[in-house]
């Protein structure tokens, strides 16, 4: 994103979105979601948090489409590839050398040197491809009227919902990308007040929660019907959540300051070799999920984990910036500074 187009409110949205992703991993991979029953009081505290956090990935794709300018964002792609390589390769190598995960073999470590190619993180791989596709997508969308753009969104929504399950695929990213572009170009909720947006968002959250409960009761979880309904509701929730933040007027500068570091939260905590170590062995989650203070525990642990990843990445970014500047002096290239490339 160009410097003049910065929006602190949307930088804050990016921070919140990453915390949502961290929440889904903590509660899902940690086992709390599957272990809690409807007879536990924490079920009615934790599940709404889990439901509302499902939109984290979609929000990142929306932001990508919203800020697209139809050019290949080479610096952003280099930034993403280098940072992804740094974390997944070093973490995988350390896990292999110390024998912490039997599934992390030498072959796995070697493949981790090419994290985008071997899809070590589905979200990063999809995002990387979207950076490539930004040019043709933007050019095509620029030729569309408002009604044509809506028709494209509708067709993709039907495809992603009823024909081809799109969750955690490129199609999920493409649709959210187009929706993000549509929100910026046509401003469908420009006249809506924040209170109205918040009310509609909560309505969609309630519908999502009702769908999850009903589907679980009737035993139809993970069917095509379940996947389709969830996909639609997650997208609607994400649109309203995005719109609410777009209307905010944030004066603080800290969201923009750490915006470029938050991808490290995902790269570190979702690195495949340590997921089980982190969320099952290191952090007790499932066995504590029925305790009355579990919600406080979840918040404290995730805030500390989030902050630790940011601190780690600040030092990593400084090292990589020095390294990039050195090679730029050697080859006379434009510096590829990592920390400043935030969108």
Question: Whole-angstrom Cα distance, residue 51 to residue 8?
Answer: 26
State pLDDT tens for residues 266-290. Answer: 999 999 999 999 999 999 999 999 9
Using 50, 70 and 90 to split pLDDT, how confident is the model at 332? low
Side-chain-side CA neighbours of 37 within 13 Å: the count stands at: 1
pLDDT at 288: 94
What are the sequence ranges of the domains in the chain?
3-331
**What is the reported pTM?**
0.89
- 38-47, 211-220, 262-271: segment of lowest average pLDDT: 211-220
Question: Whole-angstrom Cα distance, residue 121 to residue 107?
Answer: 17
State pLDDT tens for residues 219-241. Answer: 888 788 888 889 999 999 999 99
Nearest to 268 by CA among 304, 305, 241: 305
- 98-107, 137-146, 165-174: segment of lowest average pLDDT: 165-174
Q: What is the mean pLDDT of the chain?
A: 88
Q: For the purposes of burial, counting CB atoms within 10 Å of the CB of 338, is it exposed (0-12), middle (13-18) or buried (19 or more)?
A: buried
Q: 219-222: long-range contacts at Cβ-Cβ below 8 A with a sequence spacing of 24 or more?
A: none
In this prediction, residues 115-142 reach a mean pLDDT of 89
Nearest to 81 by CA among 118, 109, 106: 118
Phi-psi region of 165 (alpha: psi -120 to 50; beta: other; left: phi over 0): beta
């Amino acid at each position: 994103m160009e410097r003049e187009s910065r929006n602190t409110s949307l930088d804050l949205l990016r921070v919140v979105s990453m915390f949502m992703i961290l929440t889904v991993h903590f509660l899902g991979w940690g086992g709390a979601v599957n272990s809690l029953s409807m007879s536990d009081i924490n079920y009615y505290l934790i599940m709404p948090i889990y439901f509302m956090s499902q939109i984290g990935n979609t929000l990142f794709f929306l932001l990508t489409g919203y800020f697209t300018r139809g050019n290949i964002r080479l610096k952003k792609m280099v930034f993403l590839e280098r940072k992804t390589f740094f974390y997944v390769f070093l973490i995988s190598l350390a896990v292999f050398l110390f024998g912490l995960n039997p599934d992390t073999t030498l072959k796995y470590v070697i493949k981790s040197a090419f994290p985008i190619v071997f899809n070590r993180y589905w979200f990063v791989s999809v995002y990387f491809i979207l950076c490539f596709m930004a040019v043709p997508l933007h050019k095509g969308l620029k030729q569309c009227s408002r009604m044509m753009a809506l028709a494209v969104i509708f067709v993709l929504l039907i495809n992603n919902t009823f024909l081809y399950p799109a969750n955690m695929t490129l199609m999920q990213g493409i649709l959210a990308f187009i929706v993000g572009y549509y929100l910026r170009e046509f401003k469908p909720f420009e006249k809506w007040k924040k209170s109205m947006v918040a009310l509609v968002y909560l309505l969609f959250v309630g519908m999502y929660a009702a769908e999850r409960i009903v589907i679980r009761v009737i035993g139809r979880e993970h069917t095509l019907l379940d996947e389709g309904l969830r996909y639609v509701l997650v997208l609607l929730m994400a649109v309203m959540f995005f719109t609410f933040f777009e209307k905010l007027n944030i004066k603080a500068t800290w969201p923009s300051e750490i915006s470029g570091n938050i991808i490290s939260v995902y790269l570190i905590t979702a690195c495949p070799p340590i997921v089980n170590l982190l969320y099952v062995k290191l952090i007790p989650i499932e066995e504590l999920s029925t305790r009355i203070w579990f919600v406080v525990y979840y918040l404290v642990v995730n805030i500390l984990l989030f902050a630790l990843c940011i601190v780690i990445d600040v030092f990593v970014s400084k090292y990589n910036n020095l390294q990039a500047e050195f090679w730029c002096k050697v080859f006379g290239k434009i510096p590829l500074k990592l920390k400043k490339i935030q969108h």
